[in-house]
Structure formats: structure tokens, C-alpha cells
Amino acid sequence: MMRKPIKIDWEELESAFQEKREDLVYYLDLVTGQVVLEGEGEDTLEDEDDVEDDVENEGARRNETTRLYIEPPGPEEEAEWMDDFVEEAKEADPSVRDRLREALDRPDPTEAFREFLRHHAEERDRWFLYRSDRIHEAIDSWLDSNEVQSIEPPPWHG
């Protein structure tokens, strides 16, 4: 089913794809292009402007047929990204790559990977750029698979 192109709030959509809180669920409103969130932690993330917008859009938010569930990448996918990052980090010092590989072999590879990066700013910056690119690819794929068209291209395509 072809949908009418919408004006997507790219910053909010990107945030929804990065959010890992289990008490929150994100949706894309297919009428307004806004990201709607529901859950126990919702109140802690809203500011006054959001509350005013919510009151204005109450009717659209309640219509379940206008909302599309946003499923952020899971821990398995992020672990794959970490593994790919290490394999693709040709410019990194070989000892740094070895230490990142060791981190990925630990019982909690995600935490070990992040802990290592806390002490290596250059690699941490590379990781965040790499991860950002993977998030953008995930968003693009999600939009395509759900046949969502935007009036404006995402800022990462510019």
C-alpha cells in the first residue's frame, strides 16, 4: 500500500532507533511524521513543548491505524556491528584491534567493548561514527520495508 509522503522528524526518529529502554515503545505517526512514545518512562522524557503538542495531536495519537511500531536494532545486531567495526578498522593500531577482539570474547562483550572505548578516545569516536552509519542504514531499511516516504530526504543523505 502506497502511503502519502510525510514530513518526518528525523532527529526524533533517529533517537527512537537508538533508545534501549524496555519501558518505552516508539511509533511513527503516519499522518504527522512525529515520533510518539508510550510507556512507563514517558513522563521523564517529555518537556513542556511535547506536552502541548500531545494535547493538540491527541486524536491522531490514539488512532492505532496511523502509527507504525519502531523496532530499534537489538543487542544481537549491535554485537554484529561491533564485530564488523573491529574487522573493518584497518587504520587502527593492531594492538587496539586485538584488545577490541578480546573484549568481544568476554562474557559481556558489549560492556567490555564500551569499557575499552572509554579509555581510547580516537577509537571511541570512530565507533560512534560507524554506529551512527549503521543506525542510518537501519532507519533507511525500516522506512523502505514499511513503504514510508518522506517529503524531505534524511539529513544523512545530504
Residue 156 domain flag = no
- Residue 43: domain span: 10-72
* 67 & 15 share domain: yes
* 59 & 96 share domain: no
Which pLDDT belongs to residue 59?
47
Reported as a pLDDT band with limits 50, 70 and 90, residue 112 is very high
Which pLDDT belongs to residue 132?
96
CA dist 37 → 8, 25, 27, 106, 127 (Å): 15, 6, 6, 34, 28
Mean pLDDT for 54-81 is 74
> What's the mean pLDDT when you consider all of the chain?
85
Q: Within the chain, how many helices (H) and strands (E) appear?
A: 8, 3
pTM of the model: 0.80
* 58 & 108 share domain: no
* 93 & 62 share domain: no
Number of domains in the chain: 2
Mean pLDDT for 97-122 is 93
Mean pLDDT for 50-67 is 54
pLDDT exceeds 70 at position 45 = no
Of the residues 20, 54, 72, the one at which a domain ends = 72
* 128 & 96 share domain: yes
Distance CA 25, CA 2 (A): 25
* 41 & 82 share domain: no
Mean pLDDT for 32-39 is 90
